[in-house]
Copies of this chain bind each other. A is one copy, B any other.
Amino acid sequence: MQYSSQTIESVIEALSSLPTIGRKTAQRLALHLLRRPQEEVARLANALLAMKDNVAYCSRCFNLTESDPCPVCMSPKRNQAIICVIEEPNDLMAIERSNEYFGQYHVLHGALNPLDNIGPDDLKIKELISRLDDSVEEVILAMNASVEGEVTTQYLTKILKTLGVKVSRIARGIPVGSDLEYADEATISRALQGRVEV
């Protein structure tokens, strides 16, 4: 395209390859960055490079970390007897934001998905099982509320129960702040099944 310089074009192309960013948004972001001071753009560029260089997976819980084992695994404040199993590192960030959980994590890096040929060996399931020594009292399954998450929960429940560890799963129900009227049937049915005595 004639109207754009080659370097702007390559920024737009690189940005629009990111999820949720289309070509128009990428163009807007590129022009925004052009208006910003050099230092600010350099900060973003260098942060990207540093992140790729320094961040790896924790060898214990497979969370993203710069030091191995990761700060969560190493923290003396966190309960070593509970492991919360999640699909992806961003699930960990979401749970940490709730300020409700102070145990360990284990990141599976995906969920079982026969259609995409993702089986138990593609996830960090063996690594989870090898962590289950006598000190671990409970495993909390916190998969996404999707078909894949459900399948993974059932698979792990079966395995973990034979190992004699207490297994729980996070509750499904009406989200806080949401109207019953707008909840779908599956959520309402799960909320009813999971009712608690008051």
Chain A residues with a Cβ under 8 A of chain B: 1-8, 10-11, 13-15, 17-21, 25, 27-34, 38, 40-52, 54-55, 63-66, 71-72, 75, 88-90, 92-93, 96
| CA of A114 to CA of B61, assembled, Å | 57
Residues of B within 8 A of A21 (CB): 29
| CA of A92 to CA of B93, assembled, Å | 41
Other-chain contact of A2, B1, B30, B96 (Cβ < 8 Å): B96
Residues of B within 8 A of A43 (CB): 10, 14
| CA of A18 to CA of B13, assembled, Å | 17
Closest chain B residue to A88, Cβ basis: B31
Residues of B within 8 A of A47 (CB): 7, 10-11, 13-14
A20 touches B14 (CB 8 A): no
Other-chain contact of A44, B1, B15, B42, B65 (Cβ < 8 Å): B15
A8 touches B44 (CB 8 A): no
A52 touches B72 (CB 8 A): no
Residues of B within 8 A of A32 (CB): 18-19
Residues of B within 8 A of A10 (CB): 43, 47, 50-51
B51 touches A30 (CB 8 A): yes
Closest chain B residue to A6, Cβ basis: B66
Other-chain contact of A34, B27, B29, B42, B64 (Cβ < 8 Å): B64
Residues of B within 8 A of A65 (CB): 5
Name the distance in Å between A191's Cβ and chain B's nearest Cβ: 25
Residues of B within 8 A of A27 (CB): 90, 93
Closest chain B residue to A19, Cβ basis: B32
Closest chain B residue to A54, Cβ basis: B7
